[in-house]
Structure 1
Amino acid sequence: MSSLNASFYQNISIVHPEYFFIIGLSGIPYSNYYYIFLFITYFITIIGNSIVLLIIVLERSLHSPKYIGVFNLALADIGETNALIPNMMKTLLFDSQYISYNACLVNMFFVFLFSSIQSVTLVVLAYDRFIAICLPLRYHALVNNTSMVLVFSAVWAFNSSIVALMVSLITRLSFCESNMIQSYFCDHGPVYRLACNDNNINKFMAFLITGLYLVAPLVIIVLSYLCIFFALIKITTWQGRLKALKTCVSHLLLVGIYFLPLFCTYFAQLLLSLAPNARVISTSLAYAIPPMLNPIIYVLNTAEIKDIVQHFFKNRPAPSRENLSK
């Protein structure tokens, strides 16, 4: 009987719906308040990351390997935020749940691309800290502007290829039953599970993407910080240890706010079987909040950027008496 079913599904002509309906945000209590929160998050994310990009471009002292990584992270933050939040706000404000088939695939591509870039950028920044602390004498030989540009060019090319392959495999699926996506965007998992033909290769791609951009990066970062920890033990003075550790604080905070919410949401769903609304809200917050906090963390915890911002405000010309009288 199973062989008959398999042959039946193989003979089904591929059916692509004209529209998908994103229903994950429907029925969320106090949705107007969530819309306001998303608007504030979007505004802070775009302004904050744009300021970081502008500072790095204009300030020559920041044209260094570390800040090439920070620039790349801010760029990915802006990209992911623009791929996610405007569509969510449109759904909440206008109750506009539909999205065309092609637009859904485009949305899926950009959300996963920028999210993967964020994840790998955190790995590259961990590598930068590892070399700086564990191999300080070889730092300038191993890490320089040219090598970082080449690394990030390779990252963008590789991630674009993997994500494009994942999205292109959706086109081989036939959606002959439902076109209701139980998520807050065109998420890969909820989409391929709607297919009525064989989706095993899509399931494999889902595991591959999770392993490449969630599990493997975190494992590499943890291992790099274990090496950094052992290197810090060898430093004889507490002042030296604290000085070296201070250079890692911003990166550790970025790693924490990116990975912890995602893993907490995943394990909560696995162990507690979250209700659909709770899962959608927690997952969307796990993706929306880190891009907003990243520029704040770098401005407050990175001496170079903080000094530049303080210098800018201290040297602004005071308003003249004529302007004040007006």
Structure 2
Amino acid sequence: MENNDNSTDIEEFFLLGFPGLTPQYYVAVGTVLLVIYLLLVGGNILTIVCICYEKNLKKPTHIIFCNLAIVDFAFGTIILPKIIAKYLFNDETLTFQGCFVQMFFVHYFGAVTSFILLLMAIDRFIAICNPLRYPSLVTNHSIAITCGIFWLIPVSWLTLIIHQTIGMPFCESNIIAQFFCDQNSISLLACGDIRNMRLLFLIMTLIVLLGPLVFIIFSYLAIIVTVLKIPVIQTKYKVFSTCSPQLFIICLYYLPRCAVYITDMKIRMNVNTRVFLVMWYSLLPPLTHPFIFFFRSKEIRKAIIMKLNKRKISNQLNVPLD
């Protein structure tokens, strides 16, 4: 790592977590975060297992849901255990290398989520606006290939960002005003002129965030126009009901993120407000997605209920499951 006159070698970073939180509330906050993590892990694993092993859920839309559940599970596992350890076990430090590993995966899974939500919008756009071509364009194979590409795309540019960030000279402070390591928090600790690097990261972030969002907005505007032309009221309701879970998921993900990034371009947001918004868009979507899938997707709900009923009957009769 480079040094200048004001820089120092940093071996570890301290996670500030929630600013102003007194130690007497640490156990309560840590317990709440632990419960959130267990719900997040349990819900997303249930979604993944159900879609992978249930024959009736081998459709393109369900493959998208499965990929979203995988990235939600991975994202929660990257950020939550460390902050839980801070509040429950007073383990608030991250090694220098560990912080940058976490930083890479935080931005990586965020980028993959954005691309998966884009794919979700494309799926609904073709299904509603061009239904005759849907079976030929949107197949299990094409969706699986596209998901694989979306998982690979962020690796190259994030590797470049991490390489440049890890080489920055750092000042004396090693306190991260956040509950995980991210590029914005790390760059605030750097010495010297890092405007070019911050500009590069901002451009890449806006491409990954706003690029898919522009097409998503276009897709749902086209869907709304198409649905309004449908003469049958029941059909309109059915189509809107199909799209509403995806639209809700997209709003949960993009609205607070856009608020944070757009505000950062103009002014320095209050630390408490920023931590709250980052917590909101980091934890709420992966926590609520499984419940949205369950309550709004008839196929997934039916498959889970049938599986639970089958297990219940099997236990009562003491017959092993297939």
TM-score normalised by length of structure 1: 0.87
Q: Mapping of 1:1-326 within 5 angstroms? A: 16-25=9-18, 27-29=20-22, 30-264=25-259, 275-315=270-310, 316-317=312-313, 320=316
Q: How many residues align?
A: 314
Pairwise CA distance, 1:318: 7.0
Would you say the 8 A contact 1:41–1:289 is kept in 2?
Answer: no
Pairwise CA distance, 1:260: 2.8
Identity %: 30
Q: Which runs of 4+ in 1 moved over 6 A?
A: 9-14, 267-273
Distance in 1 (alpha carbons) for counterparts of 2:298 and 2:186: 44
Would you say the 8 A contact 1:183–1:280 is kept in 2?
Answer: yes
- Which has more radius of gyration? 1
Match of residue 3 from structure 1: none
Would you say the 8 A contact 1:14–1:173 is kept in 2?
Answer: no
Distance in 2 (alpha carbons) for counterparts of 1:25 and 1:218: 29
Distance 1:10 1:26, change over 3 A: closer
Structure 1 stretch displaced more, 296-305 or 240-249: 240-249
Distance in 2 (alpha carbons) for counterparts of 1:321 and 1:50: 27
Distance in 2 (alpha carbons) for counterparts of 1:215 and 1:309: 35
Would you say the 8 A contact 2:6–2:171 is kept in 1?
Answer: no
Would you say the 8 A contact 2:12–2:174 is kept in 1?
Answer: yes
Pairwise CA distance, 1:63: 1.4
Corresponding letter in the other structure for 1:21: F
Distance in 2 (alpha carbons) for counterparts of 1:320 and 1:177: 64
Corresponding letter in the other structure for 1:23: L
Distance in 2 (alpha carbons) for counterparts of 1:244 and 1:210: 32
User: The residue matched to 2:132 in structure 1 has which SS?
Assistant: helix
Would you say the 8 A contact 2:7–2:172 is kept in 1?
Answer: no
Match of residue 5 from structure 1: none
Structure 1 stretch displaced more, 110-119 or 75-84: 110-119
Distance 1:319 1:151, change over 3 A: closer
Corresponding letter in the other structure for 2:67: N
Could you list the per-position Cα deviations for residues 229-278 of structure 1 after superposition, in whole angstroms to 9, with x for gaps in the alignment?
Answer: 11112212112212222211211121122223334556788999764234
Pairwise CA distance, 1:16: 4.5
Runs (5+) with no aligned partner, structure 2? none
Would you say the 8 A contact 1:38–1:85 is kept in 2?
Answer: yes
Structure 1 stretch displaced more, 78-87 or 251-260: 251-260
Would you say the 8 A contact 1:174–1:196 is kept in 2?
Answer: yes
Corresponding letter in the other structure for 1:25: F
RMSD, aligned α-carbons: 2.7
Pairwise CA distance, 1:197: 3.0
Would you say the 8 A contact 1:10–1:197 is kept in 2?
Answer: no
Distance in 2 (alpha carbons) for counterparts of 1:275 and 1:36: 26
Corresponding letter in the other structure for 1:135: N
Distance in 2 (alpha carbons) for counterparts of 1:224 and 1:10: 49
Distance in 2 (alpha carbons) for counterparts of 1:175 and 1:209: 23
Pairwise CA distance, 1:210: 2.7
User: The residue matched to 1:183 in structure 2 has which SS?
Assistant: coil
Distance 1:83 1:185, change over 3 A: same
TM-score normalised by length of structure 2: 0.88
User: The residue matched to 2:91 in structure 1 has which SS?
Assistant: coil
User: The residue matched to 2:133 in structure 1 has which SS?
Assistant: helix
Structure 1 stretch displaced more, 189-198 or 12-21: 12-21
Distance in 1 (alpha carbons) for counterparts of 2:225 and 2:17: 46
Distance in 2 (alpha carbons) for counterparts of 1:79 and 1:67: 18
Distance 1:26 1:97, change over 3 A: farther
Corresponding letter in the other structure for 1:150: I
Distance in 2 (alpha carbons) for counterparts of 1:45 and 1:160: 25
